[in-house]
Amino acid sequence: MSISRILSIIKRELSLGFRSPMLIFALVLPLILTAVFQLIFGGLWQQKPVLAIYDIGDGIIVSELEKNKAVEFIEVDSEDEILNLIEAEEVDVGVIFPQDIEDLLKEDKEVILKTYVDGEAYAKDRAIIAATVVSALRKIAPEGPEVDFEQILLGEEMGLSILEMMLPLLVLYSVLAGAFLGPAILLVGAKEKKTITALLITPSSKAEILTAYGLLGGVLAVIMGIVILLLNGGWTQPLLMILLLILSSMFMVELGLIAGLAVDDINVLFANMKLFGILLIAPELFIIFPKWPQWIAKIFPTYYFMHPVLRISIYGEGFAEIGWELLVLLGFIVLFFIPIPFLAKRLGK
Amino acid sequence: MMGFNGFFFEFKFWCDFQFFLCNMQSYVKMIIEMEKAVSAENITYSYNKKLAVDHVSFHIDKGEILGFLGPNGAGKSTTLKMLVGLLVPQDGKVSILGMNTSKELKKIQAQIGVCFEEKNLYEEMSAVENLKFFASLFGVRRLDVVALLKKVNLSVEKRQKVASFSKGMKQRLMMARTLVNYPKVLFLDEPTDGLDPVSARAVRDVILEEKGKGATIFLTTHDMMEADKLSDRVAFINDGKISVIDTPENLKHEHGKRILRICYRLDGGVREEELSLEDKDMSKRIDEISSKYSILDMHTEEATLEDIFIKFTGRKLVG
Ligand SMILES: Nc1ncnc2c1ncn2[C@@H]1O[C@H](COP(=O)(O)OP(=O)(O)OP(=O)(O)O)[C@@H](O)[C@H]1O
Ligand SMILES: [Mg+2]
């Protein structure tokens, strides 16, 4: 293996810029998909969560909350008004502050806040509102208020925004575009144009050529995975997320090399992609429909990538919870490496 | 009387002598092998049961051009691909520069240049970019691209993409690419096929120039004039088998019949007659003609490689 030859092959592809179909797929496709998802499901410029307040007391809390910028307020004069606003989907959460709240806070007594929550309000928005209210109360009781939200759920519980639900799919697509399509397109293209034979009679070995293609696709996939997570507000726990992206890119690179070695025609590659793509995105259906038996999702290798993306970015889970899923992914990486050397024998014939 | 010592001495002498002979033999063999740049022994290849090359053996001496002459589908390209290691022979073996392709392929490939039948250049890149890229794979840092392009007589704009090149320009670039690693052995698959006379000449000049510098060349073609002009020896291949290998001169001398063609005026018209130079009665017939008629033209004609090819294979080279 010569690193300089591998770099030469990578450099050649990169030097083509947007004349390279591989680079177009790897870089542009994920951005287009993000734009489409954002347009359809909203989110990039997502509205602030809306909070309705019914302050029975003297309004000290309201003036405190007004300083905050994360949440939008509507002040109302009755409990009924809150219910109406939630029903009309104009408000995510409504909170009722009791008359004696100031005294309770100052006396360090527990405050119970009656809270109406729209079942369709996103988990994230609910969390933002709760944090905003608590921090406003802290201004009045610096010692730390004891607050208990007495929650009343209105309507059916949803929790995840559509965009949040789609996030694993979006990240899967960006990894797929770089790590799977990249090496596959490069290989099939080189076979169609016969340039592969020109490469094979140089001192560069098949292993070097496959490594170059895989590395290029894999690195682009990790970078685009990060970009897509950043654009869609899913970028948390960088180290764990990068590890997950690297593992899933490796797995996709292997699939891409297998497809690229097995198929000789770019049209056949894309025709099979449609069929094959369903298997890859199947776990997404189980995220959208949480009532479906979840064990079925675990049959698909991409589950061990999509599920952790969701758990890390939305639910803030860490290595302790999803570590085993990464191990399973590693197992698939080992397994799918096996056919590659055998398929590589066909190359150039 | 021979004592034990004497016997022992004699025995030892014979052993040493045998040993010497054996060594001598392998030494001579080694020298012969060293003179061979390419040797193929019984190489065979079939594509899904279709036999394309059938137990073919030949060698090419260092500095020699071997013309591999055969019609379409004869197995020329398949043979070439086995020689350069793209296809693994299903039987037999190939050695190049004393190394076996099944063992030291990458070492061999570093020292050879291959010009494919298909113009497999990077079309989205310029000529210079193509050459520099391949040079980098061969570890050639300082390639004089300008000199190389001049050598193959290719003048292009610096940024012009290969996709916009004519067939002849592409072929010349293919030749230039073959030379980026200063190869000792060249494998050229129909390098002048379909080129106009000027482009073909440019390519042939490069071939002769490389030979002049000591390169060994395996040249496939179905152009018998080209094979005749360029090759030190030619091999006829048909249906995956070699029927004969020899110098063009020998082939023509041994297998072609030379003729004398006479044109003379007869009854107001022109008549042409062919006489075999080997025919004993030839001079008698010439005398007869010259005394009766006025001779317009008389010249000898050599057999062409094409004639000999037909004689050997019962088949024409083209068509
Ligand atoms: N990839 C392939 N798959 C199946 N058969 C093949 C393949 N390549 C060549 N053949 C067959 O093998 C035989 C020899 O082909 P080859 O290309 O070696 O001939 P050639 O002498 O180079 O012909 P040409 O002058 O047309 O280049 C032909 O009958 C051809 O049809
Ligand atoms: Mg051929």
Q: Domains (ranges, CATH) in chain A?
A: 3-40+162-344 (no CATH), 47-154 (3.40.1710.10)
Residue with tokens 């190394």: B99
Give per-residue pLDDT as tens, B65-109. 999 999 999 999 999 999 999 999 999 999 999 999 999 999 999
Task: Count how many residues are written for chain B.
Answer: 319
Contact B264, B296 (CB under 8 A): yes
Average pLDDT over residues B106-118: 95
For ligand 1, the distance from its centroid to the CA atom of residue B51, given in whole angstroms, is 10
Average pLDDT over residues A161-170: 84
User: Of residues B114 and B157, which shows the higher confidence score?
Assistant: B114
Residue with tokens 């005026």: B265
What is the model's pLDDT at position B107?
95
End-to-end CA distance of chain B: 79
What is the model's pLDDT at position A253?
98
What is the model's pLDDT at position A42?
65
Q: How far is CA A224 from the centre of its chain?
A: 12
- Judging contacts by C-beta atoms under 8 Å, the chain B residues touching residue A211 are none
B106 min Cα distance to partner chain A (Å): 5
- pLDDT interval class at B267 (50, 70, 90): confident
- Whether B4 shows a pLDDT value over 70: the answer reads no
Ligand nearest to the CA of B72: 1
- Whether A142 shows a pLDDT value over 80: the answer reads no
Q: How far is CA B116 from the centre of its chain?
A: 14
DSSP codes joined into one string, B16-78 = HHHHHHHHHHHHHHHHHHHHEEEEEEEEEEEETTEEEEEEEEEEEETT-EEEEE--TTSSHHH
- Whether B223 shows a pLDDT value over 60: the answer reads yes
Q: Which residues place a Cβ less than 5 A from the ion ligand 2? A: B 76-77, 117
Q: Enter the tokens of residue B144.
A: 């004089």
What is the model's pLDDT at position A209?
97
Q: Is the Cβ pair A201, B85 closer than 8 Å?
A: yes
Contact B80, B113 (CB under 8 A): no
Which protein residue has the closest C-alpha to ligand 1 atom 28? B73
Coarse DSSP helix, strand, coil percentages of chain B, rounded to the nearest 5 percent: 40, 30, 30
Ligand nearest to the CA of B74: 1
What is the model's pLDDT at position B82?
97
For ligand 2, the distance from its centroid to the CA atom of residue B88, given in whole angstroms, is 17
What is the model's pLDDT at position A234?
84
- Residue B38 sits at φ, ψ, to 5 deg, of -135, 135
Average pLDDT over residues B169-198: 94
What is the model's pLDDT at position B228?
92
- Judging contacts by C-beta atoms under 8 Å, the chain B residues touching residue A197 are 86, 116, 118, 120
Average pLDDT over residues A197-210: 96
- pLDDT interval class at B32 (50, 70, 90): low
Lowest mean pLDDT among A107-121, A173-187, A197-211: A107-121
What is the model's pLDDT at position A60?
76
- Whether A159 shows a pLDDT value over 70: the answer reads no
Query: Who's near A167: CB < 8 A, 6+ residues apart?
Result: A229, A232, A234, A309, A310, A313, A314
What is the model's pLDDT at position A116?
93
Q: Is the Cβ pair A201, B122 closer than 8 Å?
A: no
What is the model's pLDDT at position B319?
58
Q: Is the Cβ pair B85, A5 closer than 8 Å?
A: no
Average pLDDT over residues A108-128: 83
- pLDDT interval class at B277 (50, 70, 90): confident
Ligand 1 atom, smallest distance to B78 CA: 18
- Whether B18 shows a pLDDT value over 90: the answer reads no
Q: Is the Cβ pair A198, B116 closer than 8 Å?
A: yes
Q: What is the mean pLDDT of chain A?
A: 88
User: Of residues A258 and B21, which shows the higher confidence score?
Assistant: A258
Q: How far apart are CA B153 and CA B159, in angstroms?
A: 17
Q: Is the Cβ pair B85, A15 closer than 8 Å?
A: no
What is the model's pLDDT at position B6?
67
Ligand 1 atom, smallest distance to B79 CA: 18
B25 min Cα distance to partner chain A (Å): 35
Which of A4, A6, A10, A12 is the best mutation test for B, with the most CBs of B within 10 A?
A12
What is the model's pLDDT at position A14?
93
Give per-residue pLDDT as tens, A213-264. 999 999 999 999 999 999 888 888 899 999 999 999 999 999 999 999 999 9
- Per DSSP, what are the bridge partners of residue A117? A93, A153
- Nearest by CB: B106 against A9, A16, A203: A203
Kindly list the protein residues whose Cβ atom lies closer than 6 A to any atom of ligand 1.
B 47, 50, 52, 70, 72-78, 117, 222
What is the model's pLDDT at position A46?
61
Contact A138, A120 (CB under 8 A): no
What is the model's pLDDT at position B7?
66
Contact B53, B45 (CB under 8 A): yes
Which protein residue has the closest C-alpha to ligand 1 atom 24? B72
SS3 B235: strand
What is the model's pLDDT at position A161?
74
Burial of residue B62 (number of CB atoms within 10 Å: 0-12, 13-18, 19+): middle
